[in-house]
Amino acid sequence: MKPVGSGRYSTGQKRCQVCEIFLKWDGLWCPCCGYRLRTRPRNLKYKAKLRTRKKIDEYRISVQQQEQQQTAVQTHKKPAKIH
């Protein structure tokens, strides 16, 4: 099934050039014909889109990790005593 709002390769689908289908498959080889599956687009325009999408996803993950670390530090702080 074609993903909406994102590319096939960025969602983990791979293409078999012999069978002419996209697969959601963990292996590198087509289960039907044994041909090597494509994991990246051939067109330069779509390669650039995939690269930028990966960079955006990596940035979002790093921001989420930083936020989780900050909340973990804040919950473990002891309140200051007033003299």
- Do 35 and 46 fall within a single domain? no
Decide if pLDDT at 2 tops 80.
Answer: no
- Do 5 and 28 fall within a single domain? yes
- Structure tokens, 11: 């969602």
| Model pTM score | 0.58
pLDDT in tens, 17-76: 999 999 998 999 999 999 999 988 888 888 898 889 889 989 999 999 988 888 887 776
Domain that holds residue 69: 42-74
Cβ contact 46:7 at 8 Å: yes
Query: How many alpha carbons lie under 13 Å from residue 41 in its C-beta half-sphere?
Result: 14
In this prediction, residues 3-8 reach a mean pLDDT of: 78
Tell me if 58 is assigned to some domain.
yes
Query: Which run of H or of E encompasses 79?
Result: none
| Main-chain dihedrals φ then ψ at residue 21, nearest 5 degrees | -140, 160
Decide if pLDDT at 83 tops 70.
Answer: no
- As a whole number of angstroms, the distance between CA 78 and CA 14 comes to 51
- Do 1 and 34 fall within a single domain? yes
Q: Between these two residues, 22 and 7, which has the higher pLDDT value?
A: 22
- The residues pairing with 22 across neighbouring beta strands, listed in sequence order, are 15
- Do 19 and 53 fall within a single domain? no
